[in-house]
Amino acid sequence: MVSKFRRPLLIWDVDGTLLELSGVGRQALNQAFLSLHHISEAFDQLDFAGATDHALYRQAVEHFLHDQGAADPSRFFQVYLDRLRVLLRHAPIAPLPGVSALLALLSRAGWPMALGTGNIRAGAYRKLGRVGLANYFPGGGFSTPGCSRADLLRAARETAPPGTPAIVLGDTPRDVEAARQLGLPVIAVATGRYAPDLLVSCGADQVVETLEDRDRLASSIVDLMERSKGSGGAP
């Protein structure tokens, strides 16, 4: 796909970038909160775009629980994973157009890939495993207590050998902003709810409207690597 440069680590967001948004994660979070705290629809008004699972849980706790000491993230996410497993059996979850073929192509060509997602680790792999994509990603950065979006991207980058260039791919302004905090180039994928112009205004280096357009993605990667070579640095 791109042969003239050292292949960068591609750090992928999951929901809205690789997978079509189906609401299954929100449903599982709601069900877990209801089971433990007897409050329904606790996550319905929260903004999931680029958020981490732990940050969402903290927001729900702060809003609904008078005794925040009753919160137990470890127990909550155990229940969440149980609910997610059941929901995924029949959920209308699917890879976004072009994703399955693209990941297969990148894998055959030996491209290093990692996840950089606000999902907890087990949740991300359950979603991806449901559609046969989990094995493309040997590791990455995931939601943990107190982590920021930049923290999880940093963890994802550390899955590659030191000095390996990296490029972030995500569909929200938070993905873009986190990548910029780390000085990483970012290709925004306009497959979520954000328009290309907005993603550019947030600081995306490149924008692709669909991952079906492999040529556009390849040219975006080449452009970023050319810029890095010209500046004497690595992304």
For residue 153, give every residue at least 6 positions away whose Cβ sits within 8 Å of its Cβ, in sequence order, or none: 11, 116, 141, 168, 178, 179, 182, 184
**pTM of the prediction?**
0.92
Q: Of 143, 124, 30, 120, which is closest to residue 83 (Cα–Cα)? A: 30
Per-residue pLDDT of 12-71, as tens digits, reads: 999 999 999 789 999 999 999 999 999 999 999 999 999 999 999 999 999 999 777 778
**What fold, for 9-21+94-231?**
Rossmann fold (3.40.50)
Boundaries of every domain in the chain: 9-21+94-231, 24-88
Look up residue 13 and give its two tokens.
């967001």
Question: What does the radius of gyration of the chain's CA atoms come to, in whole angstroms?
Answer: 18
Which parts of the chain fold into alpha helices (H)? 24-37, 53-64, 73-88, 99-108, 121-130, 149-157, 173-181, 196-201, 214-231
142 vs 133: CA distance, rounded Å: 17
102 vs 95: CA distance, rounded Å: 11
Average pLDDT (177-191) is 95
Q: Of 3, 22, 14, 36, which is closest to residue 122 (Cα–Cα)? A: 14
Per-residue pLDDT of 119-173, as tens digits, reads: 999 999 999 999 999 999 999 999 999 999 999 999 999 999 998 999 999 999 9
192 vs 110: CA distance, rounded Å: 27
Residue 193: pLDDT band (50, 70, 90) is confident
Per-residue pLDDT of 87-101, as tens digits, reads: 999 888 999 999 999
Look up residue 4 and give its two tokens.
């003239």
209 vs 71: CA distance, rounded Å: 40
